[in-house]
Amino acid sequence: MSVNYFPAEFEVLRNTDKCIKCRACERQCANEVHFYDADFDKMLTHDDQCVDCQRCVTICPTGALKIHKNPNEFRQNYNYTQQIMTENYRQAGTGAVLLSSMGNPLPYPVYWDKILINASQVTNPSIDPLREPMETKVFLGKKPNKMSFNEDGSVNTKLDPHLELSVPIMFSAMSYGSISKNAHESLARAATELGTYYNTGEGGLHKDFYQYGPNTIVQVASGRFGVFKDYLETGAAIEIKMGQGAKPGIGGHLPGAKIREDVSKTRMIPMGTDAISPAPHHDIYSIEDLRQLIYSLKEATEYKKPIIVKIAAVHNVAAIASGIARSGADIIAIDGFRGGTGAAPTRIRDNVGIPIELALASVDQRLRDEGIRNNVSVVVAGSIRSASDAVKAIALGADAIYIATPALLAMGCHLCRSCHGGKCNWGIATQRPDLVKRLNPDVAYKRLVNLVHAWDHEIKEMMGGMGINSIEALRGNRLMLRGIGLTDRELKILGIAHAGE
């Protein structure tokens, strides 16, 4: 056996007093960490295969298991951390690019945690959401700058197509292929019940899910997988994916092994072939080219659907968004650098792009300065972790938010960041039938509905506290925010005052 140069990242701790050797952990672990040794009548482990997904810990009937970080330590070094050393060993052993998944886990500043929300006291009293109506309904799309009316009071202005959301929260793009069919079904059913939208991602739409079309956003990416007339017509809106927060500037690659029968049908590519999305759309090199794709989609769907353009938050995001707002797009979705993914090169996930908080603030400001804010709605994604993050995002200027990681958490994900391995023990990021069936859509969809209802309730409570009774009045209301522990420069970009000011 060749030397591995680095120890297992996690260690499985089994309390032998509690363990009844039922071998449930062995059956449940797709990484084959647990095994039973008959000679010693003992449960043993391959610690090096553990990804800390917590499936066995949760499933163990006697609570005998704990997974912890392997306490073994390389010599302390703040520069060459154990993580960096290990990654170099991995690459020296394989000559390969490091592949990771889910969002950027590094300790970059989280601006949401440095922003505080206002509340009313004495003057401008707060509103009790239990007693008074609170409006969290949102319309996404172009807003006319002027309205005109007929004599009888009816609207005379031609309105552009809109999405109507009962809550300012949508489920962001996750393709069938990167996540399982049961996960997709759960999202589709939850979106329908909630009166919001889920997003197909770039993998096409399974025929079983056409029925959820009115609550579906269909995506068109550089690979054009599963894109054809019925698909475009089925969705309530079409999203052009230009970029993704977890991997700005690069394409996607779903390995042939994950293209099983159903995924192949949905993507409309043969089984077992790699699904490669080129890094750029090779027909888009300018805002004019983007406009062309937008209008070709509008023409193909007879101007009935709003077109969303999704970009990653990168350095000059404000200028790019300004171009998009003039390109004919109805909605801009911006995905921050902490956004999740089913697979991304580690170096890109961890080092490319900018935080969504700063991107959002500068985009909203730029569009206002240029007088084109009403041309588009702005949806933000890329680590909106809670209702308070959502409130802060809306106050910074977002019309609505996209969530993905919280939705996965609702379905059981434990953020083990191993989605790219395709062996998700929670039945989410996998196509293995035995694993997929662990995710029960009847249960998971309900949990998604619960999560969003709970957030909605919290959003209303925070709005009420501020004396605000509609999302409309909260949007871009930066006076409701204060920074804490931020530099003047950061406050300037965020467009907010410091706490105490």
Partner 1 sequence: MKINADGLHFQVLNEKVRSCPDEEIVLDNVLGQRYIGAGLCDKKVTINGVPGNALGAYLNNSRLEVFANAQDATGDTMNAGEIIIHGNCGDALGYGMRNGKIFVEGYAGYRAGIHMKQYQELKPVLVIGGVVGDFLGEYQAGGQIIVLGIGAEDKIPVGSFCGTGMHGGAIYLRTEHCPTDLPAQVCAADATPEDIEEIRADVTEFAKEFGYNAEELLSSHFYKLTPNTANPYRQLYVNN
List of residues contacting ligand SF4 (CB under 6 A): 14, 19-25, 34, 43, 53, 60-62, 64-65, 101-102, 408, 413-419, 424, 426, 428-429
Q: Which does 100 bind (CB under 5 to 8 A by kind): partner 1, ligand SF4, none?
A: partner 1
Q: By CB under 8 A, tell whether 268 contacts partner 1.
A: yes
- The smaller minimum CB distance to ligand SF4, of residues 396 and 444, is found at 444
CB under 8 A: which stretch of 10-18, 84-92, 325-333, 457-465 binds partner 1?
A: 84-92
Q: By CB under 8 A, tell whether 120 contacts partner 1.
A: no
What does the block give as tokens for 37? Answer: 């040794």
User: Out of 88, 126, 166, 292, which residue is the one contacting partner 1 (CB under 8 A)?
Assistant: 292
Own/partner contacts of 361-365, CB < 8 Å, gap of 24 or more, are: 361/396, 361/397, 361/493, 361/494, 361/495, 362/317, 362/318, 362/493, 363/317, 363/318, 363/321, 363/332, 363/334, 363/397, 364/396, 364/397, 364/398, 364/476, 365/318, 365/397, 365/495
What does the block give as tokens for 104? Answer: 């950027």
- The smaller minimum CB distance to partner 1, of residues 220 and 429, is found at 220
- The smaller minimum CB distance to partner 1, of residues 108 and 228, is found at 228
- For 170, phi then psi, to 5°, come to -125, 160
User: Out of 39, 151, 302, 501, which residue is the one contacting partner 1 (CB under 8 A)?
Assistant: 302
- The smaller minimum CB distance to ligand SF4, of residues 247 and 417, is found at 417
Rounded to whole angstroms, how far apart are CA atoms 380 and 398? 6
Q: Which does 142 bind (CB under 5 to 8 A by kind): ligand SF4, partner 1, none?
A: none
Rounded to whole angstroms, how far apart are CA atoms 230 and 152? 39
- The smaller minimum CB distance to ligand SF4, of residues 30 and 167, is found at 30
Q: Which does 346 bind (CB under 5 to 8 A by kind): ligand SF4, partner 1, none?
A: partner 1
Q: Which does 247 bind (CB under 5 to 8 A by kind): ligand SF4, partner 1, none?
A: none
Q: Which does 32 bind (CB under 5 to 8 A by kind): partner 1, ligand SF4, none?
A: none
Rounded to whole angstroms, how far apart are CA atoms 204 and 227? 6
Q: By CB under 8 A, tell whether 72 contacts partner 1.
A: no
Q: By CB under 8 A, tell whether 3 contacts partner 1.
A: no
Q: By CB under 8 A, tell whether 210 contacts partner 1.
A: no
Q: Taking a C-beta distance cutoff of 8 angstroms, is the pair 298, 306 a contact?
A: no
User: Out of 229, 371, 489, 500, which residue is the one contacting partner 1 (CB under 8 A)?
Assistant: 229
Rounded to whole angstroms, how far apart are CA atoms 419 and 423? 7
Q: Which of residues 399-428 bind partner 1 (CB under 8 A)?
A: 418, 420-421
| E strand or H helix that includes residue 263 | helix 261-267
Q: Which does 413 bind (CB under 5 to 8 A by kind): partner 1, ligand SF4, none?
A: ligand SF4
- Rounded to the nearest 10 degrees, how much is the dihedral formed by the CA atoms of 87, 91, 93, 95? 170
CA proximity to 260, closest of 252, 270, 251? 270
Q: Which does 253 bind (CB under 5 to 8 A by kind): ligand SF4, partner 1, none?
A: partner 1
Q: Taking a C-beta distance cutoff of 8 angstroms, is the pair 480, 474 a contact?
A: yes
CA proximity to 258, closest of 97, 409, 439, 423? 423
Task: Compute how many other C-beta atoms are within 10 angstroms of the C-beta atom of residue 141.
Answer: 21
Task: Give me Rg for the CA atoms of the chain.
Answer: 24
Query: What is the residue-wise DSSP string for 121-179?
Result: -SSS----TTTS--B--EEES---S---B-TTS-B-SPPPP-EEESSSEEEPP--BTTB
Q: By CB under 8 A, tell whether 33 contacts partner 1.
A: no
- The smaller minimum CB distance to partner 1, of residues 215 and 264, is found at 264
Q: By CB under 8 A, tell whether 87 contacts partner 1.
A: yes
- The smaller minimum CB distance to ligand SF4, of residues 32 and 132, is found at 32
Q: Which of residues 425-464 bind partner 1 (CB under 8 A)?
A: none
Report the interface residues with partner 1, using CB under 8 A.
87, 90-91, 93-100, 220, 222-224, 227-229, 232, 253, 255-256, 264, 268-270, 273-274, 276, 278, 282-283, 292-293, 295-296, 299-303, 345-346, 418, 420-421
